[in-house]
Structure 1
Amino acid sequence: MSVQKGSVQPVAIAVIATVVGLILASSFVIINPGQGGVLSILGSAQDGVLLEGIHVKPPFISYVDIYDITVQKFEVPAESSTKDLQDLKARFAINFRLRPDRVVEIRRTQGTLANIVSKIIAPQTQESFKIAAALRTVEQAITQRSLLKEDFDIALSSRLDKYGIDVLDTSVIDLTFSPEFARAVEEKQIAEQRARRAVYVAQEAEQEAQADINRAKGRAEAQRLLAETLKAQGGSLVLQKEAIAAWREGGAQMPRVLVMGESGGSVPFIFNMEQVE
């Protein structure tokens, strides 16, 4: 059975086109914005990062690892002991970016992004938190949270910088301490509230006592002025005034004019009661 020459040509053309297409597809790589590529030939990473655009590469024997060089965010847990040996746990949200000019080095030393997070960022976060937490007590870590974060940021940035990783921002998502310290904080708050209450009661009693003293001084001064006034009109008027006051407090109706005199037939004294009301 003979194969016609005309039927072979289309098959050959299709095969050749397929091979050429595979070669072309394997000879180019497209890097999108926000990405960095590392070209490896026969398993060896080549110098120079591939940035956005179309790049030529040897077909079949090469491949390109793509890295995201935009801002990325990962949450990383950490725990440490404070200056007063209390357990302190935290969870950080870390915004970082791979430095484009260091992507080839990162590819050679760390490999994938997952390795970067698990082998670099996570352990360095832990060590940086230990540095920041050890500078203060657990109470200071809670009340001076912004300072704790500042010390943590400084430590983490300096540690990740040598790996070609820029730390753009961090935030403390959660900060927890031991149950023992939580009870101690609650007891301290209760004690402080009781102490403030005791101070308030003492101040209130002191103010009331001072008010009593002031009222007593006022009555004494009023009595002194009254006595001086009555003495200027005759010493006997003091006793008369006290008698009239006692009479009034007893509930009896006061006469409008009261005639009083001394024993022994002396001239009586006419006292107008309207003058003492």
Structure 2
Amino acid sequence: MAIISPNLQVSAFPNVIKYVVLAIVVLVLLSWLNPFVVINAGHRGVITTFGKVNQTVLEEGLHFRIPIVQQVREINVQIQKAEGDGDAASRDLQQVHTKIALNYHLIPTRVAETFQLVGDLSSVGDRIIVPAVQEAFKATTAKYTAEELISKRPEVRDQISQFMKDRLLRHGIAIDEFSIVNFRFSESFNQAIEGKTTADQLKLKAERDLERIKVEAEQKIASAKAEAESLRLQKQEITPDLLKLREIENQRLALEKWNGQLPQVTGGSVPLINIK
């Protein structure tokens, strides 16, 4: 049986304490230096080395960075919503106001470039998108009259959308959905549009009434012609033989109705009676 010397136990104890302290120091140092970074879902990581942007983009998950030397900024690449107002003049110099709403996202593979160009990406809506909305609206409405902005709304929307896509793509921003919430014109123009609409409705009603009257007149003429044609044909069919035949028929019917007795009269003479 081996016997452990008490001196050996005492000498081993300081070594254990030394390793424990060393482990604690390492853990504290790792916690302070934080060499690992986690990129959450729907985000990308942008690395800066002493402030210089690295074009390598970190995907979702766990990554290692050089402590102190490198910093990682987490960038949201999920779909976000933005709204912008636009004021401009149409081709016929009518003042137009609109509200535009869109959904956009940062292109994941270009977030390092976008971060380098824009800096604080939380201000993308105010610094990039809103000015782009105003510029696109002014450039597009100048091509159309106020009435065309209403009647050709899908075409106007597509042109503004394409203008903004080209503009925002330069900054690494992609548009997912785009819509014009409304157009608002001056009060005088609204009154003019309302008057024109009323006049068009009255004109349409008058045209329909005229068409109805024409149809009714044509129906009456057709009915009169048909009646006249019927009378003409009946007149052509009446001949002397037909008249004599009808007279014989009337006499036969009268005889069938007669009971064989002559009418009783006073005065001695028998009157002639036309029996029908």
Q: TM-score, normalised by structure 2?
A: 0.70
1:143-183 per-residue CA deviation (whole Å, 9 max, x = no partner) reads: 22222221122111111111111222212233333322222
Deviation at 1:17, TM superposition (A): 5.8
3-state SS of the aligned residue for 1:47? Answer: strand
Q: How much is the aligned-residue C-alpha RMSD, in angstroms?
A: 3.3
Task: Give the equivalent residue in structure 2 for 1:240.
Answer: none
1:84 maps to which of 81, 92, 105: 92
Distance 1:201 1:24, change over 3 A: same
Aligned residues: 231
Task: Give the equivalent residue in structure 1 for 2:188.
Answer: 180
Once residues 272 and 90 of structure 1 are traced to their aligned partners in structure 2, the CA distance between those partners, rounded to angstroms, is 96
1:23 maps to which of 32, 38, 54: 32
Please list, as runs of the form range in 1=range in 2, the aligned pairs for 1:1-16 lying within 5 A after superposition.
Answer: 13=21, 16=25
Distance 1:77 1:272, change over 3 A: farther
Q: Does residue 93 of the first structure (1) align with residue 101 of the second (2)? A: yes
Task: Give the equivalent residue in structure 2 for 1:122.
Answer: 130
Task: Give the equivalent residue in structure 1 for 2:141.
Answer: 133
Task: Give the equivalent residue in structure 2 for 1:111.
Answer: 119
Once residues 55 and 222 of structure 1 are traced to their aligned partners in structure 2, the CA distance between those partners, rounded to angstroms, is 102
Paired letter, 1:119: R
Deviation at 1:40, TM superposition (A): 2.6
Deviation at 1:222, TM superposition (A): 3.7
Conservation of the 8 A alpha-carbon contact between 2:132 and 2:164: yes
Task: Give the equivalent residue in structure 1 for 2:77.
Answer: 69
3-state SS of the aligned residue for 2:55? Answer: coil
2:60 maps to which of 52, 63, 67: 52
1:233 maps to which of 227, 240, 246: 240
Deviation at 1:68, TM superposition (A): 0.7
Q: Which runs of 4+ in 1 moved over 6 A?
A: none
Task: Give the equivalent residue in structure 1 for 2:261.
Answer: none
Distance 1:272 1:202, change over 3 A: farther
1:35-61 per-residue CA deviation (whole Å, 9 max, x = no partner) reads: 122223443333322222223334345
Conservation of the 8 A alpha-carbon contact between 2:83 and 2:99: yes
3-state SS of the aligned residue for 2:133? Answer: helix
Q: Gapped runs of 5+ residues in structure 2?
A: 1-13, 244-253, 256-273
Deviation at 1:67, TM superposition (A): 0.8
Task: Give the equivalent residue in structure 2 for 1:158.
Answer: 166
Structure label with greater radius of gyration? 2
Distance 1:19 1:216, change over 3 A: closer
**What fraction of aligned residue pairs are identical, expressed as a percent?**
30
2:225 maps to which of 209, 217, 228: 217
Deviation at 1:195, TM superposition (A): 0.8
1:246-265 per-residue CA deviation (whole Å, 9 max, x = no partner) reads: xxxxxxxxxx89xxxxxxxx
Q: Gapped runs of 5+ residues in structure 1?
A: 1-5, 238-255, 258-270
Q: TM-score, normalised by structure 1?
A: 0.70
Distance 1:215 1:23, change over 3 A: closer
Conservation of the 8 A alpha-carbon contact between 1:23 and 1:60: no
Once residues 222 and 46 of structure 2 are traced to their aligned partners in structure 1, the CA distance between those partners, rounded to angstroms, is 90
1:166-225 per-residue CA deviation (whole Å, 9 max, x = no partner) reads: 222212233333322222222122111111221122122222322332343334334433
Once residues 228 and 67 of structure 2 are traced to their aligned partners in structure 1, the CA distance between those partners, rounded to angstroms, is 114
Task: Give the equivalent residue in structure 1 for 2:150.
Answer: 142
Task: Give the equivalent residue in structure 1 for 2:43.
Answer: 35
Task: Give the equivalent residue in structure 2 for 1:264.
Answer: none
3-state SS of the aligned residue for 1:39? Answer: strand
Deviation at 1:18, TM superposition (A): 7.2
Conservation of the 8 A alpha-carbon contact between 1:23 and 1:59: no
